[in-house]
């Protein structure tokens, strides 16, 4: 009899625990809601910020295609996806270019499928945030495509940073993963690390005049993953280091030797300032590079350099210069303009910055002219 009662008590306990777990799961499912941003739909949020403000931690926000002029501030744990998963047709454009287009200050945020543009600061700024997932973003025409400040253990994965001053910059940010990104045709550095260590940077396509800013802290970071059998960004058979190119076609990965045809350069690539990529990628399948290039805009980059050079020439030549006339008198004539006076590139052209062979003064002037569009 006692055994039967004891068994019944055990059964009741199991049933009670199962009931409590079911209630907890049900409450969690109910509390996590999906919000919709669609300015044309009845009952939908008209701005992404309005949806973020209304969301609770754990909610997911889906955004319809369109251009959203706002400075988005994400201060809670949410997932934000574009409906189309296409950064070309779902774009967040800085309403106030002095601020970052998107600023994330909460942990465990997902932000995926957007174009972010037109900021004098960052396309995406992570400040004090950790364990965030930034994916499928096209950042252009910003000072920094992606900027991490005191941000740790984030995954910057599968993005395109192009036509910016600097592609990606880390300041006081440790243990982040930067992988599978296209960081190309930026006017300054592709990557800049400042007081940041323990980051792993691999399987990225770098193609900038200067891919890495020369800092000694570069040696405190890892520039390749453990070599593993899996298709890499240029469709080689191994995941390892990065693809190192430059706009002139003379980058390390473009000129290295791969005698055993394994898609890995036979020698390590020395990273400027310290450290090395011990498994730099080799273009074993040239068409793979062509496919990546089709996602970029080399013409816009060249146009940006031309605009900067024109602005630099205009700065170096005084608007009014004294010339001596035939009679010996000093007359004033307008100085000859040797370039365009304002940027005429399309909107996808990035913010001008220091390019090949340009002076700091030229870059600064071009940058100001660009921002006065």
- DSSP class per residue in 129-181: -BS-EEES-EEEEEEEEEEEES-BS-EEES-EEESSSEEEEEES--S-EEES-
Kindly give the confidence (pLDDT) of every residue in the chain, 373 residues in length, as a single tens digit, with 9 standing for 90 and above. Answer: 455 566 666 655 665 545 554 544 444 445 789 999 999 998 889 999 999 999 999 999 999 999 999 999 999 999 999 999 999 999 999 999 999 999 999 999 999 999 999 999 999 999 999 999 999 999 999 999 999 999 999 999 999 999 999 999 999 999 999 999 999 999 999 999 999 999 999 999 999 999 999 999 999 999 999 999 999 999 999 999 999 999 999 999 999 999 999 999 999 999 999 999 999 999 999 999 999 999 999 999 999 999 988 887 776 665 444 444 444 443 333 333 333 333 333 333 333 343 333 333 344 444 444 444 3
Rounded to whole angstroms, the Cα distance separating 145 from 137 reads 10
Whether the CB-CB separation of 87 and 112 falls below 8 Å is answered with no
Cα-Cα-Cα-Cα dihedral sign, residues 287, 293, 294, 295: positive
Rounded to whole angstroms, the Cα distance separating 295 from 135 reads 16
Whether the CB-CB separation of 60 and 34 falls below 8 Å is answered with yes
pLDDT tens digits for 295-330?
Answer: 999 999 999 999 988 887 776 665 444 444 444 443
- By C-alpha distance, which of 45, 37, 49 is closest to 74? 49
Instruction: Look at residue 116 and give its three-state secondary structure.
Output: strand
Rounded to whole angstroms, the Cα distance separating 90 from 272 reads 36
pLDDT tens digits for 362-371?
Answer: 444 444 444 4
- By C-alpha distance, which of 134, 91, 148 is closest to 116? 91
């Amino acid at each position: 009899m006692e055994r039967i009662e004891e068994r019944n008590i055990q059964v009741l306990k199991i049933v009670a625990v199962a009931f409590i777990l079911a209630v907890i799961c049900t409450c969690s499912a109910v509390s996590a809601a999906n919000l919709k941003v669609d300015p044309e739909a009845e009952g939908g949020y008209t701005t992404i910020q309005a949806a973020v403000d209304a969301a609770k931690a754990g909610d997911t926000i889906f955004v319809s295609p369109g251009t959203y002029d706002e400075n988005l501030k994400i201060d809670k744990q949410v997932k934000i996806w574009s409906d189309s998963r296409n950064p070309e047709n779902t774009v967040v454009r800085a309403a106030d270019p002095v601020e970052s287009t998107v600023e994330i200050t909460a942990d465990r945020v997902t932000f995926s499928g957007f174009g972010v543009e037109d900021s004098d600061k960052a396309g995406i700024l992570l400040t004090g945030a950790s364990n965030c997932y930034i994916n499928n973003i096209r950042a252009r025409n910003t000072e920094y495509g992606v900027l991490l400040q005191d941000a740790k253990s984030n995954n910057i994965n599968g993005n395109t940073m192009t036509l910016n001053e600097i592609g990606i910059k880390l300041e006081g940010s440790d243990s982040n993963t930067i992988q599978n990104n296209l960081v190309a045709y930026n006017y300054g550095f592709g990557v800049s690390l400042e007081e940041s260590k323990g980051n792993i940077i691999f399987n990225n396509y770098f193609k900038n005049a200067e891919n890495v800013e020369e800092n000694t802290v570069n040696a405190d970071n890892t520039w390749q993953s453990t070599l593993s059998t899996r298709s890499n960004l240029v469709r080689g058979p191994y995941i390892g280091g990065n693809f190192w190119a430059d706009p002139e076609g003379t980058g390390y990965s473009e000129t290295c030797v791969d005698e055993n045809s394994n898609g890995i350069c036979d020698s390590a690539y020395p990273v400027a300032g310290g450290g090395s990529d011990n498994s730099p990628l080799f273009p074993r399948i040239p068409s793979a590079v062509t496919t990546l290039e089709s996602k970029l805009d080399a013409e816009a980059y060249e146009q940006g350099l031309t605009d900067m050079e024109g602005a630099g020439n205009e700065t170096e030549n005084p608007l009014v210069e004294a010339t001596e006339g035939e009679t010996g008198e000093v007359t004033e004539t307008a100085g000859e303009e040797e370039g365009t006076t304002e940027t005429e590139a399309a909107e996808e052209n990035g913010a001008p910055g220091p390019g090949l062979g340009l002076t700091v003064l030229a870059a600064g002037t071009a940058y100001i002219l660009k921002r006065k569009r």
